[in-house]
Structure 1
Amino acid sequence: MNQANKKFYFPAEWHPHKATWITFPHNDHSWQGDKLQGMYPEYFALIREISKGEKVCINVNSEELEIFIQSQLTKYEIDANQIIFHRHKTNDAWCRDHGPAFLIDRENKEKLIVDWGYNAWGGKYPPYNDDNDLPNAIAQFLKLPSVSPGIVMEGGSVEFNGKGTVLTSRSCLLNPNRNPHLNQAQIEQYLKDFYGVEQVLWVSDGIVGDDTDGHIDDTVRFVNEDTVVAVVENNPSDDNYKVLQKNLSELKEMKLLNGKSLNIVELPMPDAVVIDDFRAPGSYANFYICNAGVLVPIFDCPQDEIALNILRGLFTDRPVVGLSAKQIIWGQGSFHCLTQQEPDI
C-alpha cells in the first residue's frame, strides 16, 4: 500500500476555502425529462451563494454547456469574476463523490490530491469512467501531486472533524459492491493512511431513498471538532425511525481521541419528499459549509425553520442560509453531494 505523506490531512469543511468545485449537471438519467431543466434555478442559487465568499470552479462537459452557464449568470445575479470553467469530460454531477479529495499539510504550506477509485456507488449507474478520471485531470491541471490508493471511496461517505477523527457508515464502506476484498480493519487503515486521520467511528446505516447505500452526509455531520448534528425521525411509523435511532444510540457510545464523548445535537428530518411515487433522500444534514455561509437544503415543510434555527445556534461565525432543494433532491442528492471544497493554505 502506497501511503500519503503522513504530514497531510483532510481538513474540516469549515477550514477556509480557496474554492469550491462542482460538476455542472448534464445527465438526464439523474434528472429525467424536464426535471433537469427544473432543477437549474436551485442549482444556480447554490452557485450564487457559494460565489459570495470564494471562487466556484465548474467542470463543464462541453463548450455548449459552458456557453449556457455564462448566459445564465446575470439572470441569477452571479458575479462572473467568481466563476472559473474547467473543460473536463464527466458523466454526472456528484462532485463530492467523484471529485478530488484535497489534503493539506500540517503547516498549511502544501496541497495534495487523493485520487480514490469511483464506481458510481457500486456500479449502479454506468458509465462512470469520465468521473473516475476527474481527480487526476484536476491534479494535472493544478500541477498538484496526487496519490491513488487503488480502492473505491466516495467523499459523501466520510465526515471529518479536522482533529484526527472520521465518521462513516458500515452500510456503505463495508458494502461488497465497493471493495469486497477488504475487511473493516483494512478499510480503516486506508482511511488513516490516505486521509491523515487517527480514528474511525462507525454508524450503521443511511436513510430511505439514498442510493449510495447510506452516506454519512445525510445522517451525521460535524459542526465543530467535538459536536455533531444527528438526524432523527420523530414519527415511529416512518421507515427512517428505527435506523436513525440506532445510529443515535451508537453515537452516544463513541469517544473522541481526547477521551470526550461526542456532543450530539438532534436535527429533525423533513416531511417525506415523494416525487412520482419515489421517496427521495431529503435531509437537512446535507448542508454545505462554505466561506460565505452554511447552505442548507429546505423542502417547504414546517421542519425547515426548526432545522435552520438549530444550525444557526451552532454556526455562529457565518450565516446559515436555507435554499430550496425540492427539485435537486429528485436526483437523490443535495448541496453537499454536489460540492467539493478546495482548502486554502
Structure 2
Amino acid sequence: MTFRMPAEWAPHEWTWIGFPTYPDEWPGAFEEARQQIASFANALHGKGEDVRLVVAHDGDAEVARGLVTPGVQIVVQKLGDIWLRDTAPIAVMRGTERALVDFGFNGWGGKYRMPGDEDIGARLAAMTGLPTSTQNWVFEGGAVDTDGTGLFVTTEQCLLHPNRNPDLDRGKIETLLAGSLGLSDMLWLGDGLLNDHTDGHVDNLARFVAPGVLALPETSTQDDPNAAIYADARARAKAFGVEVASIPSPGRVVVDGEVIPASYMNFYIGNAAVIVPIYGQPNDQAALEALKPFFPGRKIIGLRSDAILSGGGSFHCCSQQMPAGE
C-alpha cells in the first residue's frame, strides 16, 4: 500500500500546540511567550479548528485555561520544550487510513536536552489510538517541508549535520524518508538562517505554498544578515525546477545585541486561517499580503511572535497537525 505525508494545507482533524513551562528558556519574556502561544491557539480555534494545547503539568493547565478561549482542549503530558513540530509524531496517509511515525530525538544535536522531550512523541501517539511506527534515527519535523506529492525540501546544514546522524549521507536519508514519510524527491537547500538554534531547519527558510511552489524570503535592505542564504536557496530551487514565490524578509532583527532568526516563513497553515509570525518590522504587512494569493478561502492573520522566538522558534515550530481521515 502506498503512503504519503500530506501537505499542511490538507484538512486537519486537530492541531497540537506546545505551551511554555520553564522560565529560564524564555529569559525576560516567559509570560509574554505564554500569552503569544495562547493568542495563536485562540486564533486557530476561533476559525473552527480543534486545538489541543499540550502542557507539562496541572499547574500549567490552570494557567493555560486562563489564557485560552473555551473550547481549546488542554492536554497534560510531560514535555520540556514546546517545539512539537520536532518531537510530536508525524502523520502519514496509508491509502485512506492514517498512521503515525515517531522518530528518534536527541535535543537538536545534544544542545537542548530536556526531560519529557525524548518520548513525548510516543506518548501523544498512544493517545490517538492510531497505528504508530518507530524510526530508530534522529529526525525533526521542522527539518523538512512537503507539498503533499512526495516532494520534500530540506537544508544540508541540518539533515547532514554530524550531531544528528553522523553515519547517514544524503542518499541514506532520502531512502529512510521514502520508507517512513513517502518521500519521492528531495530539494536540498544549503544553510538555514543565521543563529538558528536548530542548525538550519527549513521551516524557517522555505515553505511550500502549493504543489511545486516554494515560498522564499526576499531581501529589501542592504543589512539583511541572511541575504546570501536567501540567494543561495533561490538559485538551488530554480535549478531544481520548482516555482519560487517571493515573500519579503523581516530584515535585520536584533535582540540584546544579537541577530535573531526572525522569519515570516514559520507560518502555520490551519483549516481556515494561516497564522504568520510578525515582529513589528516594516515588512510585516507586505509579507501577509504576499501570502494571500496562495491561500484563497483562508484568513491570513499576523500575530506577534517575538517573545516566542526568544525561546528558539515560532508558530510552526510549536505546532503539529493531525490530518483528517478520509
Class of the TM-score when normalised by the shorter of the 2 chains: over 0.9
**8 A Cα contact 2:221 2:251, kept in partner:** no
Match of 1:117 in 2: 104
- 1:146 & 1:247 partners in 2: Cα distance? 34
Match of 2:137 in 1: 151
Choose the corresponding residue for 1:28, options 23, 28, 35. 23
- 2:242 & 2:213 partners in 1: Cα distance? 6
Match of 1:258 in 2: none
Match of 1:288 in 2: 268
Deviations 1:15-49 (A, max 9, x none): 001000012111223202x3111222211110111
Match of 2:14 in 1: 19
**8 A Cα contact 1:20 1:339, kept in partner:** yes
- 2:251 & 2:160 partners in 1: Cα distance? 29
Output aligned runs, 1:325-344, within 5 Å.
325-344=305-324
- 1:288 & 1:145 partners in 2: Cα distance? 25
Choose the corresponding residue for 1:172, options 152, 158, 167. 158
**8 A Cα contact 1:295 1:321, kept in partner:** yes
Choose the corresponding residue for 1:96, options 62, 85, 91. 85
**8 A Cα contact 1:157 1:217, kept in partner:** yes
**Identity level (%):** 35
> How far is 1:211 from its partner?
0.9
- 1:277 & 1:263 partners in 2: Cα distance? 36
Which SS does the other structure have where 1:265 is aligned? strand
Match of 1:194 in 2: 180
Deviations 1:169-221 (A, max 9, x none): 10000000000011110011111110012111100011112111111111111
Match of 2:39 in 1: 45
- 1:302 & 1:262 partners in 2: Cα distance? 29
With structure 1 as the length reference, what TM-score do the two structures score? 0.91
> How far is 1:298 from its partner?
0.8
Match of 1:10 in 2: 5
1:227 aligns to 2:222 (yes or no) = no
Match of 1:133 in 2: 119
> How far is 1:335 from its partner?
0.6
**8 A Cα contact 1:8 1:112, kept in partner:** no
Which SS does the other structure have where 2:135 is aligned? coil
Which SS does the other structure have where 2:136 is aligned? coil
> How far is 1:343 from its partner?
0.5
**8 A Cα contact 2:215 2:245, kept in partner:** yes
With structure 2 as the length reference, what TM-score do the two structures score? 0.96
> How far is 1:315 from its partner?
1.4
Cα RMSD for the two superposed structures: 1.4
Counterpart residue identity of residue 105, structure 1: R
> How far is 1:112 from its partner?
1.0
Question: Which structure 1 segments of 5+ residues have no match?
Answer: 1-5, 255-260
- 2:168 & 2:298 partners in 1: Cα distance? 40
Aligned length: 324
Deviations 1:264-287 (A, max 9, x none): 111121132211122221101110
Question: Which structure 2 segments of 5+ residues have no match?
Answer: none
- 1:301 & 1:89 partners in 2: Cα distance? 35
Match of 2:256 in 1: 276
